[in-house]
Amino acid sequence: MKARFNAFFMAWGMFLAIPCPVRKWDEGQRSRMLVCLPFIGVIVGGLWALIAWLTELLALPRAVAALLLAALPWLVTGFLHLDGYSDVCDAMLSHRDLQTRQKILKDPHCGAFGVICLMLLVLAQFCVFFSAEKAPQAACGSIMPCFSSGCAMRALESGGRSPIFGLIQDPRFAFLLSLGLIPVASRACAGLAVLSLRSMKTSQYAEMNGVNAADAGDSPNGAELKTEGVADLSVQAADSGAADTLPKEREKELASELALRKKQHARFRVVLAALLILAAAVPALLFGVFGLAPAAAALFYWIFALIAYKNLDGMNGDISGFALTLGELFGAAVLVFVQGGFAQRTVMIG
């Protein structure tokens, strides 16, 4: 239990700008930290939904509300994922050879492609939330797309029950919960991707994913890291007259360690997959089309992650941040599109 708490606070300290109450790092818990990413998403999503509710409650101006909602997930994470997003855009859009693209990815400077893509991202996310206000305002007079029970009832009375609604017929609650679960779904995907896809040699997760690299048949980054000690041991063994025994014993220890780590990662992937299903599938079951946003965020995460993975020949934190940022953007866009369509339906019914 203590290890789980340590992993959670490690994830908090690494992926959130909110001050962490416990400052402790245990390198051995790095893979377990990835399982805690969906719970970090709960914090981000909870704040996102809270701001959406407050912007309506306080009747903030439309542009201010859109700005707050667009910027909040970046502010809460300290712009960490935007850094990865710009780095991947720089590398992929350079259209250079693979080795050069990977060097650009690790370059700490932000190039022209990264700056342009960041500007487009900010504009796109702002426009998504800014455009969300027109339809609900016409339908119910609400500042943000959270609808009154009267609107829902008019839609239901006019035959709008299916296929729009699921088991729970509350569009206001559906919007807030779906918005809050978008970061949970995207971070569950992030943990799965890092644990499942082959890491780059330069990735911070390379040593942790040594098994994946070895299985991929490439120059195994994890194997290189894991066998560095074997050469040292062989030198020591030569000095002690046991050059043939110590390295073999060490190799057995390494093989056993890698096998245990592989089983541990398999368990972690099952947990992350279960959390992803809860965050993405359950809202769709409960709210119908109103709950599709978390699933859309997960879908677009994998689309962009696999594009970058193939283009850059490996997985790392930058690629995960790139895919997470775009996944959340498209998840929010799907949510606003669905809510806007419902508002137009209620206008025609009214």
178-230 pLDDT tens trace: 999 999 999 999 999 999 999 998 888 877 766 443 444 444 343 333 333 33
User: How many degrees, rounded to 5, is the angle at CA 84 between CA 80 and CA 89?
Assistant: 145
Q: Give the residue extent of every domain in the chain.
A: 2-206+226-349
pLDDT value of position 197: 94
Higher pLDDT among residues 54 and 134, named by residue: 54
Average pLDDT, the chain: 81
Q: How far apart are CA 177 and CA 167, in angstroms?
A: 14
Of residues 271 and 348, more confidently modeled: 271
Distance between CA 275 and CA 206 in Å, rounded?
24
| Tokens representing residue 278 in the block | 């809860």
Joined together, the tokens standing for residue 95 give 């259209």
Q: Which pTM value belongs to this model?
A: 0.81
Question: Is the CB of residue 347 less than 8 Å from the CB of residue 137?
Answer: no
Tell whether the model's pLDDT for residue 311 goes beyond 90.
Answer: yes
- % of the chain residues with pLDDT over 90: 56
What element of type H or E holds 229?
A: helix 228-240
Six-digit token pair at 195?
A: 């644990």
Question: What is the dihedral angle through the alpha carbons of 249, 251, 256, 259, rounded to the nearest 10 degrees?
Answer: -170
Confidence class of residue 164 from pLDDT cuts 50, 70 and 90? low
